[in-house]
């Protein structure tokens, strides 16, 4: 096996608290990839070792744990964060200490750091195509949109972009509803009733959900309780995938939608390989794959390729080697890392099935380059994007 000191990979995901429902699988994915790379002889002739910490869905604790990974454990790279508030908590730490973070979840954009590689979607790679789909003939020609989100930066910024987009498409302010709830929110009766009233005023209505974490379980349960079916008021989610659906009764959700860049149901050789690798590692047929897991795998493979190209794990040469890295991804496309630290990604809309999987009802012909500075935010007019 490999010689010399191990290469250390930090894992910065919540294993307890409101976000554990989503983030635990990402820890498992990094551990799987560490096992995978060691099975191939490690990197640079050295063994790769994971250092796992639990920031416990506590946003200030993320910064402390990031500092611990970089200064105490001296990790060479970190894979972590789900919420934007956790990413923004750690960003100054990674910049101060010149660490490298791979962030694997869709987000609101409006950010670029030389110390972060964003392997999830920017708004033009998820949120905007999803709303365009809802407004199209295929998506039900929605004329009213209810924007429901958890109260933090990702939903609020994404919905600011979506509101401007909707207005640019001729949707009046009166036909846009916007509501926010805290992390872990459980009493959805009043909000779902308001959505029902909003939809009952004569215009085709759809829900756009940026609800995060375990609050999704009672939200979907309440949609079912109030008899809201997908054919009446479809909802498209940006933070609900196979992992979140695994713990709930999906029968009331059949036909509701999610927008991602990957679904477990994708038919591709790379996805078959991913699912087989996951099952061989996790040894539980009920454990699913999902989009942020795919983004984690893609980021890990690109980082490993960049380390091999640079001949070093040092952040500065690896950063330079990351630009232009390509991976044949489970989504069925070859993804490329651009100099804006974002991936090109395809967009897919999936419909919830009774078994908790998604039937892909629409997708882009190929990967879309990320616009991390949205043209729907007026302050970005003077920025050079790309």
Residues 6+ apart with CB under 8 A from 379: none
* Rg of the chain, C-alpha, whole Å: 20
The tens digit of pLDDT for each residue in 26-39 reads: 999 999 999 999 99
User: How high does pLDDT run on average in the chain?
Assistant: 95
- State residue 302's pLDDT score: 98
Name the residue ranges covered by the structural domains of the chain.
7-121+267-336, 124-265+348-382
Strands 257-260 and 334-336: unpaired
Q: Which residues are registered as beta bridge partners of 206?
A: 145
pLDDT tens digits along 259-284: 999 999 999 999 999 999 999 999 99
* Residue 213: predicted pLDDT: 87
- Tell me whether the CATH fold assigned to 7-121+267-336 matches the one assigned to 124-265+348-382: yes
Confidence of residue 85 (pLDDT cuts 50, 70, 90): very high
User: Residue 385: is its pLDDT beyond 60?
Assistant: no
| pLDDT tens, residue by residue, 164-195 | 999 999 999 999 999 999 999 999 999 999 99
Q: Report the sign of the C-alpha dihedral through residues 226, 229, 233, 234, in that order.
A: positive
- Please identify, in words, the CATH class of the domain defined by 124-265+348-382: alpha beta
Region 7-121+267-336: CATH code: 3.40.50.2300
- 7-12 and 77-80 strand pairing: parallel
pTM of this structure: 0.94
């Amino acid at each position: 096996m490999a010689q010399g000191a191990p290469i250390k990979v930090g894992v910065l995901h919540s294993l307890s608290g409101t976000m554990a429902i989503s983030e635990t699988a990402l820890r498992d994915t990094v551990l799987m990839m560490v096992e995978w790379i060691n099975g191939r002889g490690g990197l640079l002739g050295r063994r790769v070792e994971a250092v796992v910490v639990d920031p416990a869905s506590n946003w200030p604790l993320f910064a402390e744990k990031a500092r611990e990974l970089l200064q105490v454990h001296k990790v060479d790279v970190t894979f972590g964060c789900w919420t934007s508030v956790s990413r923004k908590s750690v960003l100054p730490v990674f910049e101060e200490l010149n660490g490298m973070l791979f962030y694997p979840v869709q987000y609101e954009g409006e950010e670029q750091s030389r110390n972060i590689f964003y392997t999830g979607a920017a708004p033009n790679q998820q949120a905007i195509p999803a709303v365009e789909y809802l407004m199209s003939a295929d998506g039900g020609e929605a004329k009213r949109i209810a924007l429901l989100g958890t109260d933090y930066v990702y939903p609020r910024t994404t919905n600011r972009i979506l509101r401007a987009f909707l207005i640019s498409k001729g949707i009046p302010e009166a036909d846009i509803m916007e509501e926010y709830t805290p992390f872990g929110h459980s009493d959805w009766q009043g909000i779902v009733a308001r959505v029902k009233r909003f939809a009952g005023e004569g215009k085709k209505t759809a829900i756009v959900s940026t609800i995060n974490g375990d609050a999704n379980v009672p939200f979907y349960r309440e949609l079912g309780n109030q008899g809201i079916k997908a054919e009446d008021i479809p909802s498209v989610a940006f933070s609900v995938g196979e992992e979140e659906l695994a713990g709930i009764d999906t029968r009331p959700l059949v036909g509701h939608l999610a927008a991602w860049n990957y679904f477990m149901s994708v038919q591709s050789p790379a996805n078959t390989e991913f699912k087989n690798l996951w099952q061989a590692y996790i040894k539980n047929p009920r454990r699913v794959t999902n989009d942020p897991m795919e983004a984690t795998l893609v980021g890990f493979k690109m980082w490993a390729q960049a380390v091999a190209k640079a001949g070093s794990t040092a952040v500065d040469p690896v950063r330079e080697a990351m630009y232009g890295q390509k991976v044949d991804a489970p989504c069925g496309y070859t993804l490329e890392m651009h100099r804006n630290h974002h991936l090109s990604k395809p967009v897919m809309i999936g419909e919830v099935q009774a078994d908790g999987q998604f039937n892909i009802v629409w997708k882009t012909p190929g990967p879309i380059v990320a616009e991390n500075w949205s043209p729907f935010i007026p302050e970005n007019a003077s920025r050079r994007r790309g």
